[in-house]
Structure 1
Amino acid sequence: MASIKAGRTIRRLLLLGIIAALGFYGWSEYQRMAREHPERFPWTELSLADPIGPFTGDKLAGLGNEPLRCLALVDEVALANNFAPPVANSEPACGYADGISMAALTIAPSPGDLVTACPIAAAMHLWARDVVAPAAATHLGTEVTAFTHLGSYNCRRLYGRTSGNWSRHATADALDISGFVLADGRRLTLLADWDGGSEAEQAFLREVRNGACELFSSTLSPDYNAAHADHFHLAMREEAVGWSACR
């Protein structure tokens, strides 16, 4: 009887040892993955030096509640050298204090005149680097040298209505991209090329729209409605963590 109990004890100890070893291995493997691929985990800190991961969009949206954190992040990619003066408005729902000039991302025309809230600038940096650039190389065989736009800050309500919810443009948390200037001299526009461009051009435009959906809280394209026939509406909303609109 004693030998049976001793055998059971040994087996239990062996099982506990195996469980402990597996736990230690699992924890070590997690730490390694978190170090090498922090973009794959929802609780790791966002860095604009990292590639896009499944939780990058949520982390970008959360920057709306952490303006100092956002400004520190864009400093990593030299956007912080382009801080813009705060804008106040008699309408309390309008204005911003975390403006970033988009000159570093080569926005055309008048790049020095375009300012967005910091989370938009951070998302645009990742979109340009990890979505637009590879899509242009794959589908168009060239580079994008500039983005064309219809503006960011605009103290207005949704669709210019006189009442109702305020647009994300009212706080510069939205940017309307109307097209792309290519290194080979072409100029693609959403209005002309979404359905009227070559097969490769249409594939490029749809791929960069889909990639924007992974980063911005709201991505509205010509597929959404006639009001967006000529641009991508790219917006960030700090309360939208875990939710996004992609149309």
Structure 2
Amino acid sequence: MAYRAPRHPHIEKHARHQTIIARVVGLVLIWGIVGIMALLAERSIPVQHLPWKTLSVIDPIGVATKAKAARTGEDAAACRAVLAQGGLSFREVEETSADGTCQVRGALRITGGMAPLRPADVSMTCKETLAVSIWERQVVQPAAFEVLGEAVTAIDNYGSYACRNIYGLPTSRVSEHASANALDVAGFRLANGETISVLKDWNDPGPKGRFLRRVRDEGCRVFTTVLSPDYNAAHANHFHLDMGGEALCS
């Protein structure tokens, strides 16, 4: 007959209670540590690095800026509130639809609070508008002052909305331009009357080239996709900036 170890119900019950208590204490300690770390983060880490903090256009770009811009842009009310609190003025744009695939909903047109887009009739999703305003405020203007010694007074562009696939090819996927969730930037106008062109100045070894590369590089901390002349010949004359494509910086 096989040996059976004697059972001690009272001891087993006590052991189960001890295990439960140990687990509860462990969880309390873990959450206590998490709470202390969160409190320390709240007090010592700038808000632009904290993903749970509300996004602000006036905050410098941080490690959480891109994620917060993408998340905030999905909430129409929150997105508009952040723009307004950041000093941006805008107007609503009527919905458009073409061919059943190109739909623009909840688009905005910036009317003040940043260097104007030229031409001015640019309609963008709120998410893209938010990213463009952060980029202009926290990247373009500081770079212009530090590298060129001038303010940017206007941003030249080739538009946002275009009902087409990527590169206009029938076999490629629908472009972010088809929903006005992208902007093609061609150049910048400075307060002293000079202009900086992506096409003409990208390879300039001097300040103009340094400025363009800086606003491209730092734009990657705001937008999901940033494409420049380094990407391919199709972008030789502009930066493509969007908030919905694949994560790519080139």
Residue 6 (structure 1) aligns with: none
The residue type paired with residue 132 of structure 2 is M
Structure 2 distance, partners of 1:82, 1:42, is 26
- Greater mean deviation of Cα atoms: 225-234 or 89-98: 89-98
The secondary structure found in structure 1 opposite 2:196 is strand
The residue type paired with residue 29 of structure 1 is L
Q: How does 1:196-211 map to 2 (within 5 A)?
A: 197-211=204-218
Task: Between the two structures, name the one with larger relative contact order (CA 8 Å, sep ≥ 6).
Answer: 1
Residue 233 (structure 1) aligns with: 240
Residue 14 (structure 1) aligns with: none
Describe the shift of the 1:107–1:165 C-alpha distance in structure 2 as closer, same or farther (beyond 3 A): same
CA RMSD between the two structures = 2.2
The residue type paired with residue 98 of structure 1 is G
Counterpart selection for 2:198 from 187, 190, 201: 190
Counterpart selection for 2:142 from 98, 109, 134: 134
The residue type paired with residue 242 of structure 2 is A
State the Cα distance separating 1:176 from its structure 2 match: 0.2
Please identify the structure whose Cα radius of gyration is greater: 2
State the Cα distance separating 1:50 from its structure 2 match: 2.1
The size of the alignment, in residue pairs, is 219
- Deviation string 1:118-155 (CA, Å, 9 cap, x unpaired) is 11111111111111111111111111111000000111
Residue 42 (structure 1) aligns with: 51
State the Cα distance separating 1:57 from its structure 2 match: 0.7
Q: Does 1:63 align with 2:72?
A: yes
State the Cα distance separating 1:193 from its structure 2 match: 0.4
TM-score (normalizing by structure 1): 0.81
Describe the shift of the 1:27–1:192 C-alpha distance in structure 2 as closer, same or farther (beyond 3 A): closer
Sequence identity (%): 35
- Deviation string 1:189-219 (CA, Å, 9 cap, x unpaired) is 0000001x35111111000001100000000
Structure 1 distance, partners of 2:242, 2:225, is 5
TM-score (normalizing by structure 2): 0.80
State the Cα distance separating 1:27 from its structure 2 match: 5.1
